[in-house]
Structure 1
Amino acid sequence: MSAYRAVKGTRDIFPEEIAAWKHIENVIGGVAELYGFQEIRTPVFEYTDLFRRGIGAATDIVGKEMFSFEPDPGGRSITLRPEMTAGVMRAFLQKNLHAAAPVHKLYYIAELFRKERPQAGRQRQFAQFGAELLGASSPEAVAEVIGLMMQVFSTLGVKGLKLRINTLGDMDDRVRYRDALKAYLVQYAADLDEPSRERLEKNPLRILDSKNPAVQDIVADGPKLRDYLKQGALDDFEQVLRYLDERGVSCSVDPLLVRGLDYYCHTAFEVASPELGAQDALGGGGRYDGLARQLGSKTDIPAAGFAVGMERLLIVMEKQGLLRHIGEKGPRVYVVLQDRELVSRAVTLCNSLRSAGISAEMDLCARSMKAQMREANRMHADFALFVGEAEIRSGLFGLKNLRTSGQEELDMKAVIARLCRKPDETESSAPC
């Protein structure tokens, strides 16, 4: 055993798990393509100021959770990205994409870093997938972003999700409500728990998210966000709800839902799963029309997006039995060597098969035929191809179907044609 272990809050992802990750990633890419979203990849670290200005200096992420460091004695502070939206907007502005087309649809699957207390589904290095629609934040644009997120879940087969949604109004509405909420909560400061007292000074809206029943009781009698919203914001929100209903996306309006990042305005949403327990949030997002200006743009750029935790999604899928058969796909054929002196011929056959686009494996440890067959079954190979002196002399090789146990004697041209069929084809062959 090694004397070294993975750093706390990080974990290794082994080959048997990678199949599930790739399955989810393929679904994300496929659904994103249906909606016209294209993938973007940004640097794993950015200047710290980007997150302070974009996310908000008073947020928990900036205040407590960022991994920041100085690149050199006189340089600017750099931070491992704790979220993607600010970086995507930075890239959008730097490339001047808004001058090339009015609307850009971007999605990502990315590694992120936060100094969180490690627990199930929450690591210090973690992954998210998400999408950002830049250049539009109309009700139909917001509904499209939410529709994309929910279609990924439905395509993966995930059940029992609850979509909560709310409107925060514009930035002026949000500021007026924040001030009223703070003035109310100050009266009960002694009755608030420690996290809420801390948020009272920095970000009082986050107190609405508290799961503490005593705090919830205090909040219940306080000012209501809806009373501070302009009629236009309420009308806009009603239109979002209508579009979601037309898409068949069910949701519940939660007047206490706020997002923890300062750039959100108007529609905010969160999707939760009972499979995750008390901390049931799977992902969420909303509108952020003012972020571009916060990052130096001379004008606001309407935008909406979401992010979903990959590890948390995997937990939900595992509990719902959706990963049971993923990863069982093995090589198309396992070359079984009957005579070790023919190993060079087996290598040549494997190369020929792979050149034809057929995944092939062979024994590399000089094991017996029985052990090779066990390995072929362990790897979930579709076929076994037997190579011995008789096969080399005759040019006919035994090809055994490991699913049905049927066996054929074929020359290599016919073997390749047979293996190029899809697993469910029985008669006609298809080119690889």
Structure 2
Amino acid sequence: MAAGGSDFMPGTCGPALLLLLLVLLAAAPAPADAFSDYSEEAELSVKIARITPRFPLAGGTFTASFDVTSEFDRSPVLETQVWADQPVLQNCTPGSGPTGDIKLRLPRIKAGGLKALVVKAIKAPQVAGPRVLRVMIDSTCFQDDNTDGTKRYQASAVYTTTPAPIADLSFDSIAWAKNGRYEGTFWSAAVASKTFGVKISVSNQGTLPSKIGTIKFWSVPFGTPFVPSCNATAELSTTVKGDTLAPLGKFKAFTIKGIPAPATPGKKTLVGFVDGDCATAEADEVIDNKITLDYKVLAQPLPEFLVTGKVAKRYTQGAALLRDFRITVKNVGLAPGAPGVVSIIRDAGLFRGPVNCTTSAGPGWTSAAAVTTPIDVGKSAVITVTGVEISQAIPSSSALVLVDSTCQVAEIFDAFEDVNKVHRFTVKYN
């Protein structure tokens, strides 16, 4: 037969062959639908990430966010059920599944991936009180290992519905301010008796608009339990403009300046309290109104170094494969300082545990000459480490970089820590 021609010729199909073709077509699987297009089973897990508002109104609606992960294989599309109030662990039912308040299809998730599933308009029970939100993925037992109602396919969370609309302020986040003269952001550090700033985010997780009120801050020794109380005197009390928050999870971000650092150096914990005078009636007055941030109070300003870039030049020298690394080091501290000795080893995996002040003297390490010229705060310097030997078998990898590898420079990183501890950085190269 000519090249490119067909090996099936119309008109030559006898009765026996025709019967065989009909049998094969009848045995072929039907086109896959959304719930049966994968044969491999994925390792799935689910958790409830958030309920908004956190205290729904009885008989009202709320939104829930679920995080679903697939560990090994790409997951198929799976039927998912959501219950507004179901305290009992559910068993999947092949072909049909248990009936929740909301049924939806979970999209495919790639291997090792995460899908954030947002379900809106969940109807809260009519009677106020504690409730149990439940989500179940693969409710039709498409994956065989879910037939026992295994817990990893379900997640539940207790929440409370309220008889009337009510506010619920939440101190959501806090971070060292990265603006103007408020330096030391990399390690959250301030000098004793000086001031610093923080960025905060506050939301209203309730069902009624609310004012943020007074925001208060205290500094306590690191690890010391501290529970703020209403109308307690704080080290800083402040209010913010535009402090009215709409309900249903709406938030605002602010920068608070002028927080005084304690006069005694050491590790500290900053405690923040929103609605510090308890002027607003809330669904929860304690749990989410407080937030903490650990930081260091230094006796004097210190530098701190961060590796922010690298260039690796590859070449050979005889039978050896070498690289010259140009490492960019930035001073993110509170005072000028020299970075000292910068050392590199070709494979970061060789040193997974802590490194110390003598690690770089061991085999396989290459170091540049000590840099003694100070780097100003916010400025960078490029340090070249030459002749780092690279594996011929694995020419691309991740190198381990130590700044001040011999511990000759006092840094923020060192303050109130093990004096023999060295800050490590990993840089990839091709």
Instruction: Report the TM range for the smaller structure's normalisation.
Output: under 0.3
Q: Which has the higher helix share?
A: 1
Q: Which has the higher contact order (CA 8 A, sep 6+)?
A: 1
Larger radius of gyration between Structure 1 and Structure 2: 2
